[in-house]
Amino acid sequence: MLNIIYFEDERRPDRNEKYKAFILRSGYSNIIKFMQDIDVDTMSLLVADGVICHSGMVGYELVSHFAKCNNWPMLSYSGTVDSTPYLRENKFNKNQFSVDSDYFELVLPEFIERCNTMKERKN
């Protein structure tokens, strides 16, 4: 089974609720775990098939760094004005994806599918 980690934004906990609620509602709660601790020690011990976080949250750089090092597919949902309404793949780093936060729900299944494919490819 996939093991995807959703990192909660400690600075703006209110911002998490909407996304957490959707994850629970859509039945992905068995493969997506919620996590609050973002520090070097925890992150270096972490095993994951994918990570999700808000691009403006505290600790984003740490999550991004470990995702690059460990080849974790990473979905960062963003509230910036120029973010896309579809799952955008970073051309320089194929494991990194981003999406406009308003379209998070729409692209989540596609992201999970990508994580699944990558996991299968690894195995």
33 near another protein (CB under 8 A): no
H or E element, residue 76:
strand 74-78
How far apart, in whole angstroms, are the C-alpha atoms of residue 51 and residue 2? 11
Among 7, 49, 52, 59, contact with another protein (rule: CB under 8 A): 59
Among 93, 106, 109, 113, contact with another protein (rule: CB under 8 A): 93
29 near another protein (CB under 8 A): no
Q: Are strands 32-35 and 96-100 parallel, antiparallel or unpaired?
A: unpaired
94 near another protein (CB under 8 A): no
Q: How far is CA 26 from the centre of its chain?
A: 16
Shortest CB 101 distance to another protein, Å:
8
79 near another protein (CB under 8 A): yes
106 near another protein (CB under 8 A): no
Q: How far is CA 63 from the centre of its chain?
A: 9
